[in-house]
A and B are shown apart, each in its own frame.
Chain A
Amino acid sequence: MITAGIDCGAKNTKTVIVRDGKIIAQVAVATGFDQEASVEKSLRNAAESAGIFMEDIDKIYGTGSGKESITMAEDTINDIKAMGKGAIYFFPKARTVADVGAEEGRAAKLDDTGNPIDFAINEKCAAGAGAFIEAMGRALETPLEELGPLALTTDKQVPMNAQCAIFAESEVVGLIHAKTPKNEISKAIHDAMASRIVSMIRRIGINEDLVMIGGVSYNPGFLSAIKRELKLAHIYIPEKPEFGSAVGAAVAAAESCAI
Chain B
Amino acid sequence: MTEETKQEFWRWTESNYRNPDLDWNSAKHITVGVDVGSVSSQAVIMADGAVLAYGNMRTGADSPNSARNALKYALDAIGDMPEERMDYCIGTGYGRVNVPFADRSITEIACHARGANFIYGPQVRTVLDVGGQDIKAIQCDERGKVTHFLMNDKCAAGTGRGMEVFADLLGVPIQKVGDRSFDYKGEEPEAVSSTCVVYAKSEATGLLRKGWSKEQVLAAYCKAMAERIYALIERVGVKAEFAVTGGMAKNRGVMDRVMPMVGLDRMQTDYDTQIAGAAGAALFGYALCQKGKGRKK
Residues on A facing B (Cβ under 8 Å): 33, 103, 124-126, 131-132, 135, 163-167, 170, 177
Contacts and interface: CB of A to CB of B under 8 A. Distances in A.
Given A124-B199, A166-B161, A166-B197, 16 more contacts: A33-B206, A33-B210, A124-B195, A124-B196, A125-B155, A126-B198, A131-B199, A163-B154, A163-B155, A164-B154, A164-B155, A164-B156, A164-B197, A166-B198, A167-B161, A170-B161
B131 interface: no
B162 interface: yes
Contacts of A166: 156, 161-162, 165, 197-198
A58 B165 CA distance: 47
B133 A126 contact: no
Nearest to B162: A166
Interface residues of B, number: 17
B291 interface: no
Contacts of B162: 166
Nearest to B207: A33
Contacts of A177: 61
A192 B35 CA distance: 30
B175 interface: no
B196 A125 contact: yes
A131 B196 CA distance: 11
A126 B199 contact: yes
Contacts of B210: 33
* Chain A binding surface, main DSSP class: helix
Interface of B: 61, 133, 154-156, 161-162, 165, 194-199, 206, 209-210
A67 B196 CA distance: 21
Contact of B199 (A103, A163, A167, A170): A103
A161 to B, nearest CB: 10
Contacts of A163: 154-155
Contact of A33 (B154, B196, B199, B209): B209
Contacts of A131: 198-199
A6 B267 CA distance: 54
7 contacts: A125-B155, A126-B198, A131-B199, A163-B154, A164-B156, A164-B197, A177-B61
A103 B161 CA distance: 21
Contacts of B199: 103, 124, 126, 131
Given A33-B210, A166-B165, A167-B133, A135 B154 contact: no
B16 to A, nearest CB: 27
B196 A126 contact: yes
Contacts of A164: 154-156, 197
Task: Please indicate which of the listed interface residues A132, A163, A165, A167 has the most CB atoms of chain B within 10 Å of its own CB.
Answer: A167
A103 B195 CA distance: 13
Contacts of B198: 126, 131-132, 135, 165-166
Nearest to A131: B198
Contacts of A126: 196-199
A167 B194 contact: no
Contacts of A135: 198
Contacts of A165: 196-198
Contacts of B195: 124-125
Nearest to A174: B61
Contacts of B155: 125, 163-164
A79 B227 CA distance: 28
Given A103-B199, A164-B155, A166-B156, A124 B165 contact: no
A135 B162 CA distance: 15
B277 to A, nearest CB: 20
Nearest to B164: A166
A163 B199 CA distance: 15
B165 to A, nearest CB: 6
Task: Please indicate which of the listed interface residues A163, A164, A165 has the most CB atoms of chain B within 10 Å of its own CB.
Answer: A164
A132 B196 CA distance: 11
A132 B155 CA distance: 13
Nearest to B61: A177
Contacts of B197: 126, 164-166
Contacts of A33: 206, 209-210
A70 to B, nearest CB: 19
Nearest to A11: B202
Nearest to B153: A167
**Which 4 A-B residue pairs are closest in the complex by CB-CB distance?**
A166-B156, A126-B198, A166-B197, A165-B198
Nearest to B195: A124
A124 B194 CA distance: 7
A103 B133 CA distance: 23
A23 B238 CA distance: 58
